[in-house]
Amino acid sequence: MQFSVSPIVYNFLIESISELELDLENIENRLGYRLHYTKGRVSFIRTLRLWKSIEQLSNRTDIGLILADYFTIEKAGLLGEVFLNGHTIKESMLMVNRYLPLLMSNISMKYQEVGNRVVFSFNFFPEIFIPFSVLEFYMKICYNWVSRFLRREDIQSFNIYEIHYFAREPLHLHYYKKKFPKTKLYFFDFNNYVIMDRDTFYVPNTHYKKSVYEYIMVYATEMKSDVLNQGSFSALIADHILMDLGERSHSIQQLSKDINMSVSSIKRKLKAEDSSFKELSNHIKKELCTIMILDIQLRYEDISFLLGYSDYSAFYKAFKKWFKMTPTQYRENFL
């Protein structure tokens, strides 16, 4: 499946620039291109670069929480309709999980009932490149939407027992202590998940209309089918390269085993689309590098490792070729 993002999400991020009173020209200078609203799906990396630019210029650690409040059910379009019109929150969550590719294709979401509680886990791929603010953005959207579904604003209306994050403890921890005073918080965990009261997921939707919901499901299924059929072979290979970075040394030989296709067949199909494994790999590394280089908490050696280079000198050489300057000069220019 192609790692792509709905134009709804990408256009929302462009809109948020003015909402946050940020300098559009400054962001465009960082990206190296003009921002335009789009009607088609956008690559995951392009969207992530825009997100990171907004995060850097806002100079706020809680930017994900702020943006989540802007991303209402109405902003989500069809996916918001799917959620709001379910018979129960459990049904809505399961349906949203099925149709998440309509918004973003690299989210994994799991729902599991354990006694009188529910474990709701979520993750983005590839995990090592996802900012903590994106995880918070998604978690806060879920909280906001559940509140809207229940038509209740008070936190006491449904119990959240625990919140677990894969990432480190944020600087804005006071937000959680104020908003979720009775909730236990865990950081540096093995996964991202929330433990909630099971009964919340079975509260009936007082505005549920079966005929309306069935119509929405048919329309959503057709749209999902279109999304899944849009990807090219190059996009498929790019996704595999992206997932392998930082996890192991990626190569066309390893890719051949992963997708059960001969090396010669991969080369031939990529050539037919005026592409190659090496070109795709270099392009992805360069794009991800422009995101990570602006994170001052990452050392150059860390970036080199995350991008899959065998040693720092190889990364340094590639960086100078991409940007005509050293990593230190690049950071000094932008930061």
Which CATH number do you get for residue 315?
1.10.10.60
Residue 231 has pLDDT above 80, yes or no: no
Specify the number of domains making up the chain: 2
Q: What is the CATH number of the domain that holds 26?
A: 3.90.1520.10
270 and 127 belong to one structural domain:
no
Owning domain of residue 65 = 4-225
Residues 291 and 318 in one domain: yes
List, for residues 23-74, the tens digit of each pLDDT value: 999 999 989 899 999 998 898 999 999 999 999 999 999 999 999 999 999 9
Q: Report whether pLDDT(156) > 90.
A: no
User: Whole-number mean pLDDT of the chain?
Assistant: 89
- Which residue intervals of the chain are DSSP H helices? 7-19, 24-31, 44-58, 63-70, 78-84, 89-99, 132-150, 173-179, 210-228, 233-244, 252-259, 263-272, 277-292, 300-306, 312-323, 327-334
Percent of the chain with pLDDT over 70: 96
Give this prediction's pTM. 0.87
Question: Is the pLDDT score of 154 beyond 80?
Answer: no
215 and 249 belong to one structural domain = no
**What is the Cβ-side half-sphere exposure of residue 152, based on CA atoms within 13 angstroms?**
13
d(CA 87, CA 38): 33
Residue 225 has pLDDT above 90, yes or no: no
Q: Give residue-wise pLDDT tens across range 257-284.
A: 888 999 999 999 999 999 999 999 999 9
Position 1 confidence tier, pLDDT thresholds 50, 70, 90: very low
Q: Cα–Cα distance between 111 and 142 in angstroms, integer?
A: 13
Q: Give yes or no: residues 111 and 159 share one domain.
A: yes
Q: Note the pLDDT of residue 247.
A: 60
Same domain membership, residue 185 and residue 82: yes
Categorize the per-residue pLDDT at 157 as very low, low, confident or very high, splitting at 50, 70 and 90: low
Say yes or no to pLDDT of 178 above 60. yes
Domain shared by 89 and 188, yes or no: yes
140 plus 62 within the same structural domain: yes
Burial of 89 (0-12, 13-18, 19+ CB in 10 A): buried
Is the domain of 45 the same as that of 155? yes
Q: What is the dihedral of CA 25, 30, 33, 39, to 10 degrees?
A: -80
Same domain membership, residue 120 and residue 164 = yes
DSSP 280-298: HHHHHHHHHHHHHTT-TTS
Residues 220 and 240 in one domain: no
Which of 225, 256, 273 is the C-terminal boundary of a domain?
225
Phi first, then psi: give them for residue 186, nearest 5 degrees. Answer: -135, 135
Maximum alpha-carbon separation in the chain = 62
Instruction: Please say which residue of 180, 202, 225 terminates a domain.
Output: 225
Indicate whether 20 and 111 sit together in one domain: yes
- Mean pLDDT, residues 318-324 taken together: 94
DSSP E strands: which ranges in 36-127?
42-43, 107-114, 117-124
Cβ pair 195, 117 in contact under 8 A: yes
- Boundary residue ending a domain (225, 257, 280): 225
Q: What is the mean pLDDT of residues 110-118?
A: 94
**Averaged pLDDT, 2-15:** 91
Is the same domain home to 109 and 243?
no
